[in-house]
Amino acid sequence: MTDLRAVDAAARERALDVRRSFIVQAPAGAGKTELLTRRFLALLATVAEPESILAITFTRKAAAEMRDRIVGALRAVHAPDPARPLQERTLELARVALAADAARGWNLLSQPGRLRIQTIDALNLGLARRLPLLSGLGAGLGIEEDARDLHRRAAERLLEQLPQGQPLASQAVATLLAHVDNRVDRFVDLVI
């Protein structure tokens, strides 16, 4: 194992220490999802209820993939899938998580919905729905699938509601407008 691989392996193992927090930054294909799957499995072995763990992603696809990997690892303990072999460390963590599952009667394999893996939008929506008065948004909330019109309105309102007494903000907008030959439509497109 090269020095860089040894350093990477050690860092990945440190990220499984559930007593500490970590930020994982890496390019696509570097194994972030596998590392997060392992961390989730490690956390399952330490909590009283699986709902006390929250994994947040940006996309539904990523949330579904994370859930699929965690449930797949748990299932692989008793029925390995030859088409999707797991690394031994992942299986080891899944075994410990399944032992906690059995001891605490969670039944995660038959109730995978107990795993809280969701998008940041879904988390925020859930919080706003629980506190409709404090959120100031009322009860009729939803996630906008195509927010382009909302982005356009926000960009247009930026021009309408420039803060008074803030010359730097006004100067920045004036500079940008000059850059696009005072074409408001172009300004709005750039802000979007």
Q: Which residue in 35, 127, 112 sits closest to 74, CA to CA?
A: 112
3-state helix, strand, coil in the chain (%, to 5): 60, 5, 35
Q: Does residue 152 sit in the same domain as residue 119?
A: no
For residue 2, what pLDDT band results from cuts at 50, 70 and 90? confident
Taking residues 30-46, what's their average pLDDT?
92
CA angle centred on 138, ends 142 and 116, rounded to 5°: 50
Asked, for residue 27, whether it belongs to a domain, the answer is: yes
Give the largest Cα separation in the chain, rounded: 68
- Cα dihedral across residues 32, 36, 39, 41: positive or negative: negative
In a domain, 133, yes or no: no
Percent of the chain exceeding pLDDT 90 equals 38
| Mean per-residue pLDDT, 30-34 | 87
Q: Do both 113 and 160 map to the same domain?
A: no
pTM of the model: 0.69
Residue 20, domain member (yes or no): yes
Residue 135 located in a structural domain: no
Q: Which pLDDT does position 175 carry in this prediction? A: 84
Asked whether residue 18 falls in the same domain as residue 96, the answer is: yes
Contact 104, 48 (CB under 8 A): yes
18 and 59 in a single domain? The answer is yes
The lowest-confidence range among 44-53, 93-102, 154-163 is: 154-163
Judge whether 79 lies within some domain: yes
C-alpha of 74 from chain center: 21
Structurally, the chain folds into a number of domains equal to 2
What pLDDT is recorded for position 152? 87
Backbone angles phi and psi of 56, in degrees to 5: -115, 135
User: What average pLDDT does range 55-62 have in this prediction?
Assistant: 90
Tokens of 98: 């399944």
Can you tell me whether residue 165 is helix, strand or coil?
coil
Structural domain range at position 184 = 148-191
Tokens 């860089």 sit at which residue? Answer: 4
Answer yes or no: is 134 within a domain. no
151: part of which helix (H) or strand (E)? helix 148-160
